[in-house]
Amino acid sequence: MRKQFILAAALAIALPSKAAPVKDQYWALMANQLFPAVASVKAKPQQGLAAVLDKRKKRIDACQGAAKCLFLASTWTDEEMDAVARAVPALPTSSPNGPPIADDGVKAQVVRELRGLNAILQIYGFGTESRYPKIDGPVEKPGSDEFKALVADALWLAEAGKNDPGVNLDPSIPLAIALIDVNERRDAVAFEPLDKAHNAPAFALARGIDWKRYRYTAIIIPGVGPENPAISMSARSKLHLRQAASRFADGEAAFIITSGAAVHPKGSHFNEAVEMRKVLIERYGIPADRIVIEPYARHTTTNLRNVTRRLVAMGAPIDRPTLIVANPSQSAYIGSPEFAARNPAELGYQPGTVGRRLSPYELEFVPSLQSLRVDPWDPLDP
């Protein structure tokens, strides 16, 4: 198997050098989702950055396809991150007329993105354990022959795509995306264009809505994944939906937002947000244009972060409260000091302000623009 690994790396070097560059739409989408500020730098960057990128390319080329050398050479240093930050004139916005993707400035966002890229190389290249190894990380066991073969295939794929116009600023970008691609972890873009397709009816309604008529901009329903792969929805998620449908009938909320990815168990094909939307429509008669899905969150922290992003994208006033509806234990957890401490430890900030707990099932939440910060440290949900 070691011979196979070495052979695959060698073949990567031997690919035709004059092959016409083609754009992989999926890779371009991934680059913009994971590294939006870095991806905004054009193929012909300013002179200072060009010199840094040229030095990096020579360092990477010197590895001649050797995996360990290649991952180390592709890792971004603090000085190199600074050079990229100086080349980004302005941050992309969260929506056509929305705020920038980061409230803390260009440099902080660029550093987040490139440190996230470094983490991808570590986790999917070297096999370093991810923060949540039970649900994240490579498809093959790190250190196994299968893992080494998959890494070799990623090197080959990255070499083939190095001239892809959607990812060609630096060789580390196609390398990181190739590692994600060979592991079939397309989670971060699985529902794009999310708001123009899946959420289009609700977003169209939101453009003309009078938000002042409602006490809450939205009811937030976080999913709770089952541990049995044959079950599409856990009993607790069903409880959340019944409670939320009842609350929505009161007329105090403009929309319902279902939040949750295909998380539990690892490899599940049932997306929590999508499954919950089906139940709301089919079993409780909630109008489809009153439901927004947020199908990417993998944790309670990112439930609140990602829902904030959808509220901003639909033009909702985020200084107004939302209502979180969950089972008593999850509701108590969201309002606990433990959860308040977890957010800055994992996200780097509070996604908003958790307010009053109105009942065992309900508590208020006021979102924060800090939630717009993209962080590919978790490449499945940046």
User: How does pLDDT run across 151-196, given as a tens digit for each residue?
Assistant: 999 999 999 998 898 898 999 999 999 999 999 998 999 999 999 9
**Within this chain, do residues 205 and 272 fall inside the same structural domain, yes or no?**
yes
220 pLDDT more than 60:
yes
Per-residue pLDDT at 183:
96
Amino acid 84: pLDDT: 96
Whether 377 maps to a domain, the answer reads: no
Span 236-245, mean pLDDT?
A: 95
- Is there a single domain that holds both residue 139 and residue 232? no
Residue 201 CA to residue 280 CA, distance in Å, equals 15
Q: Dig out the tokens for 57 from the structure.
A: 């390319």
Between residues 47 and 7, the one the model is more confident about: 47
Please provide the average confidence, as pLDDT, over all residues in the chain: 92
Give residue 311's pLDDT: 98
Question: Is pTM, for the whole model, over 0.95?
Answer: no
Residue 234 domain boundaries? 190-372
Residue 268: predicted pLDDT:
78
Does 72 share its domain with 213? no
Asked if 212 and 361 sit in the same domain, the reply is yes
Q: Is 241 within the bounds of a domain?
A: yes
Q: Which two tokens stand for residue 88?
A: 């980004």
Determine the average pLDDT of the residues in 41-54.
85
Same domain, 258 and 327: yes
Q: 112-132: per-residue pLDDT in tens?
A: 999 999 999 999 999 999 988
**Mean pLDDT across the stretch 341-358?**
97
pLDDT average, residue stretch 70-82:
98
Average pLDDT over residues 28-41: 95
Listed in sequence order, the DSSP H helices in 16-63 are 25-34, 36-39, 47-61
From CA 221, how far away is CA 170, in angstroms rounded? 40
131 and 21 both lie in a single domain: yes
**198 & 295 share domain:** yes
Q: How many domains does the chain have?
A: 2
Angle at Cα 259 formed by Cα 30 and Cα 227, nearest 5°? 95
Q: Give yes or no: residues 164 and 277 share one domain.
A: no
Residues 95 and 233 occupy one common structural domain:
no
> Are 129 and 223 found together in one domain?
no
Report if residue 382 sits inside a domain.
no
Residues 139-158, mean pLDDT to the nearest whole number = 96
Higher-scoring residue by pLDDT: 226, 71:
71
Residues ≥6 apart with Cβ < 8 Å to 345: none
Domain boundary residue among 188, 206, 226?
188
Q: Measured between alpha carbons, how far is 137 from 124 in angstroms, rounded to an integer?
A: 7
pLDDT at residue 236 greater than cutoff 80: yes
pLDDT in tens, 91-114: 999 887 789 999 999 999 999 999
Mean pLDDT (whole number) for 346-373: 97
